[in-house]
Structure 1
């Protein structure tokens, strides 16, 4: 019995040790090299054509942010390299949309290195969903080309600060690190210097820089950094890591182990609604004749709109996940969505931020792996837009902008295969 007790004690200690290694964040370890980025650096040194994809949310999309600053660093340190880059970042989106748009926005360009940045936008997601999406991203990349190098990079915002100040990883970072460790992918915690400055009382998370002349002001809004403060700190952390990663690993095909989660989203795909069956009045919008299409022309190669109650889009597919990449904005209403013979569920395309038009997306609950018929119908039920906006102390100043109750559609998001 004593031996059994000792055995279980050792098991518990071992489990606790693994958890501590997974959760605990040492501020002296801004990066983990793992298998490095050997293929990318081999091409850089040979001055061969090389392409970097920056894949993430608005923090990566930002002008003169860490994306452009790090690209400039590469260009300065490898002046003979034929270096191009892909800006595959979309504000307000996480890895759950990323895994669906990866093929069209990243892999079609055949990158040599992909930086993946979704830690902030994934911060409210459950770990199992992050596992599915991030693993799907990794496996899609290596299914196309196992010589493509990948690096996870983690940004932060003020909401993550208490966890980081306690030397713990935010939930999204912890989940991503589990995938990175499983696939030996290097990762960089780009915001740990931000946390050190916060701990020392030398940083404020938001404000106008002129109001805090003796401190580093991270951002205007606690999330999106100023280019010369928060983004500069991100870039310094990344380039410090890059100099160590440059000497690690052996060029060649990356090994692909068994999946971390069996139901990962490796087979996610994004399909234009142009090919789907439509009933009722749907108008194709183009940048030269529609302001929404013009504003979102970099998001949607094809976009349709309907304000006719009862107009619908129908899709039949065999699979487990279905969703829609579309638009939220002042003139939007809601979809009534039916799956097979189940009652319709409402998906509002208006929220408390809908004072302007932006790309957005939604998913249906996970389905059984079988054939399903999904119908997205323009709902006749109006939304109380004034009440929704009031949640953020916004008011309707021009009722005409909010009068319409239309829906938009661009891309179907599915894991499965379309059927006739």
Structure 2
């Protein structure tokens, strides 16, 4: 009886391990050939619904290029005109200055709760400074979260342009971030559309200028003012490429259940467990308060961040415990921002962390990294405490007409910290 029990236990464990995903060899990065459209397994589920005249929800997850009133809006309008029987619902899920690392955490709130049929993912510019291995972790997490929520949701990567990307594109190669994403897209069969390549090709043909301080000749497209954010004609180019890609995939795509692709992750460190959790009063000490619904910052950012909490009294603390590997805060930077002491598992960070930087003539969404690379099986304690002194405001001086006087104004005074949610890879522990 005892021997039989041991055998059954061993067989059970072997079965469990055989079902667990195993990655024999981690992926190796290499530059990938740039192609305008890679249909791969396409967007067949979306095409079927569009042709059937169903309601179709299209999400646009990305940074400021997608947040602009440009290719996102134009693509939605094109889809509605190309498939007039369908009802297109646009899910605006883009935040300027953010990459796929934040995207993996905010995906549920900004995209998945709206039940998308198709998700465009645009992070090739804002992920440009990250290592391929880091890009894979967050992008793999985005893909797997989407298909875990609904395996019939289609995904399409979109690679946008910024100045200096032409150096790789002229060699026929994708820049690093797009190459990293292409390797992941190959693994999962995700289609990709390379609007950056079209932009570089038009410049090579003498039909477009990336930027110009003087008026361009008639018939020449001025792509942007800053080399990153397209003007209207630039967004029109993006939309035309996407429309052509749709027409191509319309003839090649078949409906697919993507659930089988979840059996094998691209990287073992994927951020499928990335999530955001709201603050609880039990975590807070000091003068924390919920911003009222009519507060200008709550009205402006609450749609993304949920309920925003604010404190400014020195010594006010946010403390929480979690079992997991990574934690951060989804917070606001601004001209009246303070600085904090971060302590993880009893070890204070050597330097104070300001919630103010050289862009802080206004408030904007940001993230405050607290801890990463922790033992995911252990319980960790994190404390964020407001310091008595406000951070140095001089980094923003070059943006002001009269910095000596303006930095003395009430706008730039304060030690305020504003937090929307806690970002976790793991679970809160009471």
TM-score over 0.5 for the alignment?
yes
| Residue in 1 that maps onto 2:322 | 317
Q: Distance in 1 between matches of 2:333 and 2:319?
A: 20
Q: 1:300 to 1:276 in 2, by over 3 A?
A: farther
Say whether the 8 Å CA contact 2:32–2:182 is kept in structure 1.
no
Contact 2:273–2:425 (8 Å) recurs in 1: yes
Task: Give the Cα–Cα distance (whole angstroms) in 2 for the partners of residues 144 and 37 of structure 1.
Answer: 17
Q: TM-score normalized by structure 1? A: 0.89
- Alignment CA distance shift 1:181-1:78 (3 Å): same
Change (3 A) 1:244 1:231: same
Which aligned pairs between 1:140-219 and structure 2 lie closer than 5 A? 140-207=145-212, 210=215, 212-213=217-218, 215-219=220-224
Secondary structure class of the residue paired with 2:116 = coil
1:99–1:136 Cα contact (<8 Å) kept: yes
Q: 1:4 maps to what in 2?
A: none
Structure 2 distance, partners of 1:333, 1:212, is: 49
1:106 to 108, 111, 114: 111
1:236 to 207, 231, 240: 240
| SS of residue matched to 1:140 | helix
Q: Secondary structure at the match of 1:23?
A: coil
Quote the offset at 1:86 in angstroms.
0.6
Residue 403 (str. 1) matches residue 413 (str. 2)? yes
Q: 2:429 — aligned with what? A: 419
With over 3 angstroms needed to count, the CA separation of the structure-2 counterparts of 1:308 and 1:106, relative to structure 1, is same
How far apart are residue 392 of structure 1 and its match?
A: 6.3
Summarize the alignment of residues 278-289 of structure 1 with structure 2, pairs less than 5 Å apart: 278-288=284-294
> Is contact 2:208-2:222 (8 Å) kept?
yes
Secondary structure at the counterpart of residue 133 of structure 1: helix
Mean Cα deviation higher: 392-401 or 295-304: 392-401
Q: How far does residue 198 in structure 1 lie from its aligned partner after superposition?
A: 2.0
Judging changes above 3 Å, is the alpha-carbon distance between structure 1 residues 402 and 287 closer, same or farther for their aligned structure 2 residues? same
Q: Is it true that 1:368 corresponds to 2:375 in the alignment?
A: yes
Instruction: Tell me how far apart the structure 2 counterparts of residues 411 and 276 of structure 1 sit (CA, whole Å).
Output: 14
Shift of the alpha carbon at 1:335? 1.9
Q: How many residues align?
A: 396
* Aligned equivalents of 2:336, 2:90: Cα separation in 1: 36
Q: Residues 272 and 395 of structure 1: is their aligned pair in 2 closer, same or farther, counting only changes over 3 Å?
A: farther
2:139 aligns with 134
C-alpha distance in structure 2 between counterparts of 1:189 and 1:392, whole Å: 35
Residue equivalent to 1:13: none
Unaligned stretches of 5+ in structure 1? 1-17
Q: How far apart are the structure 2 equivalents of 1:89 and 1:209?
A: 31
Instruction: State the alpha-carbon separation in 2 of the partners of residues 385 and 51 from structure 1.
Output: 44
- Aligned counterparts of 1:123 and 1:135: Cα–Cα separation in 2: 16
Q: CA deviation at 1:343?
A: 2.1
Please report how far the alpha carbon of residue 394 of structure 1 lies from its aligned counterpart in structure 2 after TM superposition: 7.4
Aligned twin of 1:23: 31
Cα contact 2:341–2:348 (8 A) shared by 1: no
- Aligned 8 A contact 1:325 1:362 in 2: yes
Residue 211 (structure 1) shift: 5.3
| TM-fit CA distance, 1:285 | 1.1
Aligned to 1:37: 43
Tell me by how many angstroms 1:216 deviates.
Answer: 1.5
Q: Distance in 2 between matches of 1:105 and 1:404?
A: 31
1:249 aligns with 2:249: no
Displacement, 1:205? Answer: 2.0
> What residue ranges of structure 2 are gaps of 5+ in the alignment?
1-26
Partners of 1:395 and 1:191 in 2: how far apart?
39
* TM-score normalised by the chain length of structure 2: 0.87
Distance 1:70 1:285 in 2: 36
CA deviation profile, 1:162-211 (whole Å, cap 9, x unmatched): 22233222111111111111100000101212101222343322246845
Q: Judging changes above 3 Å, is the alpha-carbon distance between structure 1 residues 278 and 356 closer, same or farther for their aligned structure 2 residues?
A: same
RMSD (Å), alpha carbons: 2.0
- 1:115–1:395 distance in 2 versus 1, CA, 3 Å: farther
Q: Assess if the C-alpha contact under 8 Å between 1:208 and 1:217 holds in 2.
A: no
Aligned in 2, Cα 1:177/1:318: closer, same or farther, shift over 3 Å?
same
Can you list the C-alpha shifts for 1:321-357, whole angstroms capped at 9, x where unaligned? 1001100110002121100121235322111111111
Q: Secondary structure at the match of 1:322?
A: strand
State yes or no: 1:292 paired with 2:302: no
The CA distance in 2 between the partners of 1:33 and 1:246, in whole Å, is: 10
Tell me which residue corresponds to 2:396.
389
Is residue 130–residue 172 contact of structure 1 (8 Å, CA) maintained in 2? yes
- The answer to whether the 8 Å contact 1:333/1:406 transfers is yes
Distance 1:213 1:357 in 2: 39
Task: Provide the rounded CA distance (Å) in 1 between the counterparts of 2:282 and 2:188.
Answer: 37
Change (3 A) 1:213 1:383: farther
